[in-house]
Amino acid sequence: MFEILKKSLATGIVTTDYPQGAAEVSDAARGEPDISKATLTDARLGAAACPTSAIAFEPGDRAATLSLDRCAFCGLCAEAALSIRMTNRWQLAALRKEDLKRTVRWGASVADTAGYSTDPKTGVEQIGGHLRSEINRLFGRSLHIREVDAGSCNGCEIEIGGLNSPIYDIERFGIHFAASPRHADMLLVTGPVSRNMELALRKTYDAMPGPKLVVAVGACGCSGGIFGKNYASLGGVDSVLPVDVYIPGCPPNPYALLHGILLAIRT
């Protein structure tokens, strides 16, 4: 016991300062693709390489639209077109699927991400205080999450598991994962909704007491991702349940997940 305590003291605090400070995301991490307006025509090569058809062009090729809800952040578009580069922008969660679309017109670059943003200068006490007050008002002291894998490859589950690690420590915000939907306030859904999981997902949602929130996680949860709609998949979560927040990515990193959960609570 003494050795464990000694090791803990030597390690010190490893929990991230987010949202008090800037998130420590690697420059090599893949986030939102950026399309240069200066060479938009070249982006057509990137659109052709996209496995999920996340990049579309308007008639006349004078504008391109990037649908982040379908983007897998694979980087194939950037490899095919010099006018597209991968960024590590991760604060992409949105309340509406329409807010996940980025339209690029001839002459500049994709605008920065929309939606909820965190000022690094804002104290964690201020954000955490507001967060806890909203949790108290809506749910009473704490927020409990039930996670459902509706057909995921488990990539999103690995990132969700990281939220409980000492680095991200989601419990510091009064947020906990629940084993039963009857104890949950928020439903975190990953993967395209497979037809075999539709009934289970509906029953899980119906078992939750109100008020309740639904968060679609990852490209598959937002739109069906690379699977889309087919004989085995119904597509995104909103084809079965009402969705309050969409968190794009393949998979979204723990910072993006935390950002989306905070966004859902603040609404």
pLDDT single digits (tens) 77-132: 999 988 888 998 888 999 999 999 988 886 544 544 333 334 433 343 444 555 55
Q: What is the dihedral of CA 207, 209, 210, 213, to 10 degrees?
A: -60
CB atoms within 10 A of CB 65: 15
What are the distances in angstroms from CA 102 to CA 201, 257, 265? 30, 20, 25
Asked if the peptide bond before residue 181 counts as cis, ω within 30 degrees of 0, the response is no
What pLDDT shows up at residue 211? 87
pLDDT in tens, 204-261: 999 999 889 999 999 999 999 999 999 999 999 999 999 999 999 999 999 999 899 9
CB atoms within 10 A of CB 111: 10
Cα separation, 119 vs 19, whole angstroms: 8
What pLDDT shows up at residue 131? 56
228 burial type by CB count under 10 A (0-12 exposed, 13-18 middle, 19+ buried): middle
What pLDDT shows up at residue 235? 94
Question: Whose CA is closest to 123, among 133, 131, 113, 115?
Answer: 131
What pLDDT shows up at residue 117? 38
What pLDDT shows up at residue 158? 94
Average pLDDT, the chain: 83
Contacts of 241 (CB under 8 A, 6+ apart): 187, 189, 201, 202, 205, 214
Domains, the chain, in order of start with CATH, read 124-266 (3.40.50.12280)
Cα separation, 146 vs 193, whole angstroms: 16
DSSP designation for 94: B
Q: How would DSSP label each residue in 29-54?
A: S---EEEBGGGGGGHHHHHHH-TT--
Element (H, E) at 149: strand 143-149
Cα separation, 250 vs 65, whole angstroms: 19
Token readout for 189 is 């859904």
